[in-house]
Amino acid sequence: MMPGNYILLYSSPTGEKREKRLAIADEQLTAITGTISRCGKQELPSSLFANLIHFLMYSRFASHVHDDDRKFSVSDSCTSCGTCAAVCPAGNIELVEGKPVWKHHCELCCGCIHLCPVQAIQAGRSTEKRQRYRNPAVSIGDLKKEILKGRP
Ligand code: SF4
Ligand code: SF4
């Protein structure tokens, strides 16, 4: 389990709670990578619960996800740094006169909201007070490089 970061629904954990969760995740990842290197690729067991959630929710989510950036906005605190455009994995943000404009092929990853250094991006009122999250082991510079490699 990693620190939750779906800011559209809740705030990310902070402080000791976040550190503890990351430390446990690191231990589990070591065990998981050990198992994979010993056993090779294996099919994951099917989960009835996951299949049910997928069946009930995915088609609804997929039908509007690209347009959901219409609820995003940027405040006057934007410094025109360009981070949001650089980290968007879908290439969905263009800076126009120094401010982000969303192009409606969003994947709703919430990366732009989390990684804006001045928290200038909101998705309605509910995100205004919610905690942003970035894995402390990953720098914004590394993210930008990785995202550029994988971008469509
Ligand atoms: S990351 Fe934030 S400050 Fe930088 S351009 Fe985007 S909205 Fe503005
Ligand atoms: S970073 Fe994620 S949430 Fe933001 S516009 Fe790109 S795909 Fe959408």
Mean pLDDT for each 10-residue chunk of the chain (152 residues)?
94 96 94 87 80 90 95 97 95 97 97 97 96 93 85 70
Atom of ligand 1 nearest to the CA of 98: 5
pLDDT value at residue 132: 97
Q: Is 92 in the pocket of ligand 2 (CB under 6 A)?
A: yes
Mutate to test the pocket of ligand 2, among 93, 105, 132 (most ligand atoms within 8 A of CB): 93
Q: Is 69 in the pocket of ligand 2 (CB under 6 A)?
A: yes
pLDDT value at residue 80: 97
Ligand 2 center–CA 67 separation, angstroms = 11
Ligand 1 center–CA 142 separation, angstroms = 17
Distance of alpha carbon 7 from alpha carbon 123, whole angstroms: 9
Q: Is 74 in the pocket of ligand 1 (CB under 6 A)?
A: yes
Distance of alpha carbon 61 from alpha carbon 64, whole angstroms: 6
Tokens read off for 3: 């620190």
Tokens read off for 2: 């990693």
Q: Is 78 in the pocket of ligand 1 (CB under 6 A)?
A: yes
Tokens read off for 45: 């067991």
pLDDT value at residue 149: 83
CATH number at 15-150? 3.30.70.20
Query: For residue 97, which of 81, 80, 113, 78 has the smallest C-alpha distance?
Result: 80
> For strand 93-96 and strand 72-74, is the pairing parallel, antiparallel, or unpaired?
unpaired
pLDDT value at residue 46: 81
CA angle 79, 74, 88 (to 5 degrees): 80
Domain ranges for the chain: 15-150
H-run or E-run covering 74 = strand 72-74
> Rounded to 5 degrees, what are φ and ψ at 121?
-100, 130
| Alpha-helical segments (H) within the chain | 15-39, 48-53, 59-64, 83-87, 111-115, 140-150
Distance of alpha carbon 29 from alpha carbon 1, whole angstroms: 10
The number of helix segments (H) and strand segments (E) in the chain equals: 6, 4
